[in-house]
Amino acid sequence: MPDKPSVLFVCVHNAGRSQMAAAWLTHLAGDRVEVRSAGSAPADQVNPAAVEAMREAGIDISAEIPKVLTVDAVKESDVCVTMGCGDTCPVFPGKRYLDWALDDPAGRGVAAVRPIRDEIRKRVEDLIAEIAPEPTA
């Protein structure tokens, strides 16, 4: 891993899981990690239930815009975390790939999105501990 690892979160619509994961990683790791998110078939907007669930956790993702997955985004990332996008993510040698099986929040209310949000936070915390732990004094 380089001094500042780069993580790409990918889901189909880049409107729920990947947006929440990117926001958690940015919030919890700060500038120790470069964060990207994208989707294989991006939605028009971030899922309102995901926005509300993250707002409840003190993180505002309302200004985020779903982005299309590009080959360059994968090439520029050290770790690529997929979330239900199947084989649409290009694979390059030397990259680390993780597949997080998480429920899709699409079409669900905020009550159903909260447990997904909380599971993503746990997984992001584990990822941070592995690739960008807090510097020791």
Contacts of 69 (CB under 8 A, 6+ apart): 10, 14, 38, 39, 40, 85, 88, 89
Q: Of these residues, 8, 10, 11, 46, which one is catalytic? A: 11
Q: Of these residues, 61, 85, 113, 127, which one is catalytic? A: 85
Distance CA 46, CA 22 (A): 13
Distance CA 113, CA 12 (A): 16
| Residue for token pair 């993510």 | 89
| Annotation says 80 is catalytic | no
79, 22 Cβ separation under 8 angstroms: no
| Annotation says 11 is catalytic | yes
| Annotation says 89 is catalytic | yes
Tell me the one-letter amino acid at 41. A
Q: Of these residues, 8, 35, 74, 89, which one is catalytic? A: 89
Catalytic residues: 11, 85, 89
